[in-house]
Amino acid sequence: MKMDNKEDLTKSFGENAHSYKISNVFSDKEDLDRMINIVGPSESDIALDIATGAGHTAVKLSKRVKEVVAIDVVENMLNQAKLLIKENKIENINLMNMDVHSLGFKDDYFDIATCRFAPHHFYNIEVAIKEVYRVLKKGGKLYILDCSVLNLEEAKATINNIEKLRDPSHVNSYSLEEWQDILKNGGFKVLYAKNLKRQYILPDWFDRMNTPAKNRDKIFNILRGMSENLKRLYSFDERYITTYYVELLAVK
């Protein structure tokens, strides 16, 4: 089992919390609208937004459900979420400092759980998914959007290496195939699973994490050393690096 990474998380996100509030990656309207379409929330639902960060997912969801409980382990990120909630004059979001690996809620409580751009930070994905499964009602839905890797050994090693050089709190990005196994092993039925090809825009992607210059250089050396096949799948230049997201909907 991997070690708790709270210290790395607090450093990575605590120092850069504001950039997550203003980032157009996390507030992207198309992504958030598509999430609502996929999840199909109803007015009586109680939702859990896991690793809420600056609160973009929670705010979007709050307009479509009865209540959102939004959790995160980094206090500075919760402070950014508090500001976003205030700016949007929202009153049905309850923010809590909590770790997904140990959720302080009773069994079978939530109708919906959402988790965007965060599972790659979880130090024990099986325990985290088990906890989410426990707190969802039977028939409850789990929506995930996260950075990912293509299901090739070279991609898994190379891309996770790059992600860790950019952000020491990165634990692992899973492929779509690995995600489906994780969810099925955790008791979920996967209803929808898709790879989305995207780009990390530079230098924004580095700047958001204050990645040191020497690590930026190392990342480009690794990219230049990839096989021709991986270079085709993960094209890059000084303005962008290709990435893939996974998007999944699973039901308990």
Ligand X SMILES: C[S@@+](CC[C@H](N)C(=O)[O-])C[C@H]1O[C@@H](n2cnc3c(N)ncnc32)[C@H](O)[C@@H]1O
Positions touching ligand X (CB under 6 A) are 9, 13, 20, 26, 51-54, 56-57, 71-74, 77, 99-101, 116-118, 121-122
- Both tokens of residue 95? 């923010």
Whole-number minimum distance, CB 12 to ligand X, in Å?
8
Q: Smallest Cα–Cα separation from 21: which of 67, 57, 66?
A: 57
Residue 79 or 151 having the CB closest to ligand X: 79
Residue 68 or 74 having the CB closest to ligand X: 74
Nearest residue to the partner ligand X, using Cβ: 53
Using CA atoms, how far apart are residues 155 and 8, in angstroms rounded to an integer?
A: 24
Whole-number minimum distance, CB 238 to ligand X, in Å?
24
Whole-number minimum distance, CB 51 to ligand X, in Å?
3
Residue 171 or 223 having the CB closest to ligand X: 171
Residue 24 or 221 having the CB closest to ligand X: 24
Phi-psi category of residue 108: left, alpha or beta, with phi > 0 → left and psi -120 to 50 → alpha: left
* 113 CB-near residues (< 8 Å, 6+ apart): 47, 48, 49, 50, 132, 135, 136, 140, 141, 142, 143
Whole-number minimum distance, CB 54 to ligand X, in Å?
6
Q: What is the DSSP letter of 25?
A: T
Backbone angles phi, psi at 127, to 5 degrees: -65, -40
3-state helix, strand, coil in the chain (%, to 5): 40, 25, 35
Residue 48 or 183 having the CB closest to ligand X: 48
Whole-number minimum distance, CB 221 to ligand X, in Å?
26
